[in-house]
């Protein structure tokens, strides 16, 4: 993915996820979960894929062609004032992940000024609703489907976190968010983050180990084009303007 060379080296690109293209061995179950249990609009349903509208992002699941059982981490922004209402909305629909074996389901990320809840879908994907208090996106009323605003995170699994972060920063033109380590880093901003984790690292508050599965993020971006391929992660970043 090429970056416009007129961009200042100190000016970070703005990236938004238009589409997350993922694999699954549980296509029918995911259709039922997202379309019926969560009542999200399924805008395409075919024998080999489904497309689910999640606010400003399309979540696309494609039938895996091998014997793998792919799973991913992704997060959705919700209005920063609606976490408790999101819990009330989710409770009759899907169990929420509990914190460290307790009955508490809210996770506080102090450094990110955010609160989140997690769920596991039928394919084992680790989904998240996150209220980011740095965003001025308050909304009135009870929680409803339109309050799922966009996908704001997608996991990128790699054997070398720092090398993959460097690839994303250079190829997409965005910067590390907050801080980075040898086994975890976030790249982008509060409305579009690549969550880069080391292969084999347990996903947050989960016994699931991060594994590499094919994935693609189609992004809306102001100064990027073509495609970035991260071979070690089997991950592609494509600009929506190039499609």
Any idea which residue has 């809840």 for tokens?
117
Q: Is 178 exposed, middle or buried (0-12, 13-18, 19+ CB in 10 A)?
A: exposed
- Cα separation, 243 vs 235, in Å, equals 17
| Residues near 226 by beta carbon (within 8 Å), at least 6 away in sequence | 1, 2, 238, 239, 242
Q: What is the mean pLDDT of the chain?
A: 91
**Number of Cβ within a 10 Å radius of residue 6:** 7
DSSP letter string, 14-78: -EEEEEEEEEES-HHHHHHIIIIIS---EEEE-SSEEEEEETTEEEEEEE-SSS-----EEEEEE
pLDDT band at residue 23, thresholds of 50, 70 and 90? very high
Element (H, E) at 189: strand 184-189
- Residue 99's pLDDT is 87
- Residue 223's pLDDT is 52
137-159 pLDDT per residue, tens:
999 999 999 999 999 999 999 99
DSSP letter string, 193-208: EEEEEETTPBPTTSSP
Strand, coil or helix: 83: helix
Mean local confidence (pLDDT), 21-47: 98
- Residue 10's pLDDT is 40
The whole-angstrom distance between residue 215's C-alpha and the CA centroid of its chain comes to: 11
The total number of structural domains in the chain stands at 1
Four-point Cα dihedral 188, 131, 40, 60, nearest 10: 20
Residue pair 240/219 in contact (Cβ under 8 Å)? The answer is yes
Regarding pTM above 0.85, the answer is yes
- Cα separation, 69 vs 29, in Å, equals 13
Residue pair 190/232 in contact (Cβ under 8 Å)? The answer is no
Q: Look up the CATH number of the domain holding residue 43.
A: 3.10.180.10
pLDDT at 26 over 60: yes
Percent of the chain with pLDDT over 90: 81
Longest CA span, the chain: 52
174-226 pLDDT per residue, tens:
999 988 899 999 999 999 999 999 999 999 888 899 999 999 999 987 555 56
pLDDT band at residue 11, thresholds of 50, 70 and 90? low
Mean local confidence (pLDDT), 9-23: 80
Give the number of C-alpha atoms closer than 13 A to the C-alpha of residue 178, restricted to the C-beta side: 13
pLDDT at 12 over 80: no
58-112 pLDDT per residue, tens:
999 999 988 999 999 999 999 999 999 999 999 999 999 998 878 999 999 999 9
The residue range of the domain holding 166 is: 2-242
């Amino acid at each position: 993915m090429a970056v416009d060379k007129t961009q200042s080296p100190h000016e970070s690109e703005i990236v938004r996820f238009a589409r997350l293209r993922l694999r699954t061995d549980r296509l029918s179950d995911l259709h039922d979960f997202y379309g019926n249990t969560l009542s999200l609009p399924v805008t395409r349903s075919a024998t080999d894929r489904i497309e689910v509208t999640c606010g400003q992002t399309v979540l696309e699941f494609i039938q895996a062609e091998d014997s793998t059982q792919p799973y991913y981490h992704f997060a959705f922004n919700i209005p920063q004032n609606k976490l408790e209402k999101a819990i009330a909305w989710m409770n009759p629909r899907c169990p929420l992940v509990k914190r460290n074996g307790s009955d508490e389901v809210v996770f506080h990320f102090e450094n990110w000024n955010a609160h989140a809840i997690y769920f596991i879908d039928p394919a084992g994907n680790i989904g998240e609703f996150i209220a980011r208090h740095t965003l001025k996106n308050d909304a009135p009323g009870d929680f409803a489907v339109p309050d799922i605003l966009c996908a704001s995170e997608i996991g990128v699994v790699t054997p070398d976190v720092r090398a993959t972060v460097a690839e994303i920063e250079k190829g997409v033109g965005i910067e590390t968010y907050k801080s980075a380590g040898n086994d975890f880093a976030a790249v982008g901003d509060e409305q579009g983050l690549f969550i880069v984790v080391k292969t084999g690292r347990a996903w947050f508050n989960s016994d699931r180990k991060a594994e590499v599965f094919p994935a693609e993020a189609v992004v809306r971006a102001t100064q990027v084009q073509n495609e970035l391929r991260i071979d070690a992660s089997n991950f592609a970043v494509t600009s929506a303007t190039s499609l």
